[in-house]
Amino acid sequence: MVLRRISEAGPVTATTLCADLGLTDTAIRRHIDGLLADGLIESREVRPPGRRRRGRPARGWVVSSQGHSVLSADYDHLANAALRFLAETAGPDAVAAFAERRAAEVEERYAAELTEAGDDPQVRATVLVEALTRDGYAASTRPVGSGEATLGLQLCQGHCPVQHVAAEFPQFCDAETEAFSRLLGVHVQRLATLAQGDHVCTTFVPVAAVAAGPPDRRGPEHHDNHPENPTHPPEGSNP
């Protein structure tokens, strides 16, 4: 309660916090001492508006970088609670639809860039990684295969903004994977996720099958069943 109020009003003095939250000065000081010890807030000078007054400026409090991380986790709890309510009242399909809607928005944002990249899935994957990195996903790719034979790419994401939500609702991971397939033009496979405790989200992007072209699906009547240099002539033929 105190940390969130500081995030909303900071820099804010202890006196103002007492008035805003209806707590005693002793209680506010105890909260502030605890938040300081945990590195969640830091002090700033607070100068009153208007004419400059004599004396030292009052000390106000603002949320630190670590404190913002804690507040983000609080929002994760709120998001999970909202999705649980959605699942209970409208069913799991509603959660899946919401996840697909979010993935579709990401897909729409990247679609033009990937279309300009052409049809090569390796090039498209590189463009997708650049777009994801811009949005804070800490994305990268690494080749899969031996020697010069690249079978595919591993698309890795070191950060996920919905990691804690997806831990309870894997529909978000599924929807993102399907969006990647559409963006890259190949069927990708999710190998690992931060949401399930892995150190990075990993998606396999096949490229060898695309480069080699589609397999020959002709029937046996279209294939040459005779060797080029038979050692024996066909039965009944003249030597």
CA distance 187 to 140: 19
**Domains defined along the chain, listed by start:** 2-63 (1.10.10.10), 72-212 (3.30.1380)
Average pLDDT, the chain: 83
pLDDT in tens, 158-213: 888 898 899 999 999 999 999 999 999 999 999 999 999 888 899 999 987 544 44
Task: Check if the beta carbon of residue 197 is closer than 8 Å to that of residue 176.
Answer: no
Q: What pairing do the DSSP bridges indicate for beta strands 149-157 and 189-192? A: unpaired
CA distance 119 to 204: 17
The residues that bridge with 189 in the sheet, in sequence order, are 204
In the prediction, which pLDDT does 113 show?
A: 96
Quick one: average pLDDT of 106-117?
95
Q: Are 24 and 18 in contact (CB under 8 A)?
A: yes
Q: pTM of the entire structure? A: 0.64
Mind listing the pLDDT tens digit for each residue in 8-57?
Answer: 777 889 999 999 899 999 999 999 999 999 999 998 887 665 555 566 77
pLDDT tens-place string over residues 55-98: 677 888 988 877 877 777 777 888 999 999 999 999 999 999 99
* Residues composing the chain: 239
Q: What is the pLDDT of residue 226?
A: 44
